[in-house]
Amino acid sequence: MGRIRAVRPTRQISRSHPPIFRPARRFLSALLLGTALWNAVCAAGVLDVGGEWLDDGGRAVSLSDWQGRYTVLTMSTGACRKICSTTLRRMEELQAIADRRGLGVDFLVIGLDPRSDTPKAWREYRAQRKLGRENWHFVSGGEERTRRVAGMLGISYWFYDEHLLHDFRIVLIAPDGTIRRTLAWADDRPEVLFSGLK
């Protein structure tokens, strides 16, 4: 809720205006407050999606475990050979950028297909692709929770027979749980995801 304090109106300024402006000023400040609050409620939601998630070690985790640190988050499925391949390559590029810049960032991949993205499947996926770093995490949850997270990230997905067709999106989650930046398919400069980070 830090954002709300940032837009708090100050009474000292209000006294310098004629009384006729006070209702308008109050309305505008209230509108700003309402907008900021609503945005905060919407944006902060990704890591607030509750319930139990399983990581690739089979351990129960909560998405809120990633509160308090910068996290590169995406959604993927181990069976996907096209979009997810590009996603993974981008994530690896981002890891290399973070290493070069000395940024401590976690990488979190949420499985889109809980039926096939089991802890065992993710373990094999990681082993095969040599994704053994400890700051990388692969988790899966229930179908409803997965849909909620996907909706919050703007990732639509559906099954065309056995193909899981889905969007591409990588986001940087700030320590307060809000989405700080988004990397889209056409963004050829992944480093922009870390713009402003020190």
Distance of closest approach, residue 196 Cβ to other proteins, in angstroms: 26
The helix or strand, by DSSP H or E, that contains position 190, with its residue range, turns out to be: none
State which of residues 17, 34, 57, 154 lies at the interface with other proteins (CB under 8 A).
Answer: 34
Q: Does 85 bind other proteins (CB under 8 A)?
A: yes
Tokens of 6: 């940032």
Residue type, 107: F
- Residue whose C-alpha is closest to residue 72's, from 108, 102, 42, 123: 108
Stretch that binds other proteins, among 59-67, 69-77, 80-88, 98-106 (CB under 8 A): 80-88
Q: Does 128 bind other proteins (CB under 8 A)?
A: yes
State which of residues 17, 21, 31, 175 lies at the interface with other proteins (CB under 8 A).
Answer: 31
Angle at 50 between CA 44 and CA 56, to 5 degrees: 105
Distance of closest approach, residue 51 Cβ to other proteins, in angstroms: 16
Q: Which is nearer to other proteins, 3 or 181 (CB)?
A: 3
CB 143 within 8 A of CB 111: no
Distance of closest approach, residue 82 Cβ to other proteins, in angstroms: 8
Q: Does 21 bind other proteins (CB under 8 A)?
A: no
Tokens of 157: 């997905």
CB 121 within 8 A of CB 109: no
Residue type, 51: G
- Separation of alpha carbons 70 and 72, rounded Å: 7
Q: Which is nearer to other proteins, 30 or 60 (CB)?
A: 30
What percent of the residues of the chain are helix, what percent strand, and what percent coil, each to the nearest 5?
45, 20, 35
Site string for other proteins, 43-72 (x = CB under 8 A): ------------------------------
Residues that bind other proteins (CB under 8 A): 1, 4, 8-9, 26-27, 29-31, 33-35, 37-38, 41, 81-83, 85-86, 115, 124, 128, 158-161, 163, 165-168, 185-186
